[in-house]
Amino acid sequence: MKTNNPAFPSADHDHKHCVSLALKNAEAYCLQQGLRLTKLRHQVLELIWANHQPVGAYELLEQLTQEGRKAAPPTVYRALDFLMENGLVHRISSRNAYVGCSHAGHDHTAQFLICETCGQVAELDDARIGSVITKDADQLGFTVAQWTLEISGICDQCKRGTADE
């Protein structure tokens, strides 16, 4: 399965290819795992991948409604739960929103760089960070169940004034 990590894409980034690759990877992963990627789950995933900024559940609901899909909040949340449980999306707690997983099907705890200016998110997957956190927690007698690291700052494009907003 290919890694799909555009990290703060430039203006000439082929986003259609990025979305297509993410969806193809998700479909292959679900098929391999015997999971049902229903039409709604697929649509929600596609909407999440539609740009590189986190998208909220109600924003997804609004977009689905605009596309003629009758969906209620619980339905969207169930689709999001499925996508999160199966490693296809991540929840960005600080934004109460979701982003596509750049490493779908790969068991990992991600770290996120979040641009304060344009809102884009880049996913990192550095096992060394997890090892340090787990080791330090173990020394304190603490068992880590789950963690997500969100780092805010300004991306290079925004520093240079070239980001699409």
Regarding whether 153 and 82 lie in a shared domain, the answer is no
Regarding whether 165 and 135 lie in a shared domain, the answer is yes
Regarding whether 69 and 46 lie in a shared domain, the answer is yes
Q: What does the radius of gyration of the chain's CA atoms come to, in whole angstroms?
A: 16
- DSSP, collapsed to helix, strand or coil, labels residue 98 as strand
**5 pLDDT exceeds 50?**
no
Contacts of 131 (CB under 8 A, 6+ apart): none
102, 120, 135 — which closes off a domain?
102
Regarding whether 125 and 83 lie in a shared domain, the answer is no
Give the residue numbers of the binding site for Zn(2+): 115, 118, 155, 158
Q: What is the DSSP letter of 51?
A: S
**76 pLDDT exceeds 50?**
yes
Give the residue numbers of the binding site for Fe cation: 107
Domain with 136 in it: what CATH number?
Answer: 3.30.1490.190
Regarding whether 91 and 54 lie in a shared domain, the answer is yes
Does residue 123 form part of some domain?
yes
Regarding whether 94 and 115 lie in a shared domain, the answer is no
Q: Which of 8-17, 70-79, 89-98, 129-138 has the lowest mean pLDDT?
A: 8-17
* Residue-wise pLDDT tens digits, 139-159: 999 999 888 899 999 999 899
Q: State how far the Cα of 45 lies from the Cα of 126, in Å rounded to an integer.
A: 24
Residues of the domain holding 70? 12-102
Positive or negative, the Cα torsion across 136, 150, 22, 43? Answer: positive
Which pLDDT does position 10 carry in this prediction? 61
Give the residue numbers of the binding site: 107, 115, 118, 155, 158
102, 119, 154 — which closes off a domain?
102
Mean pLDDT over all residues of the chain? 88
How many structural domains compose the chain?
Answer: 2
**165 pLDDT exceeds 60?**
no
Regarding whether 49 and 117 lie in a shared domain, the answer is no
* Residue-wise pLDDT tens digits, 109-135: 789 999 999 999 999 888 899 899 999
Does residue 3 form part of some domain?
no
Regarding whether 45 and 83 lie in a shared domain, the answer is yes
Regarding whether 93 and 132 lie in a shared domain, the answer is no
Name the pTM for this structure.
0.83
115 close to 153: Cβ distance less than 8 angstroms: yes
Does residue 19 form part of some domain?
yes
Which pLDDT does position 40 carry in this prediction? 96
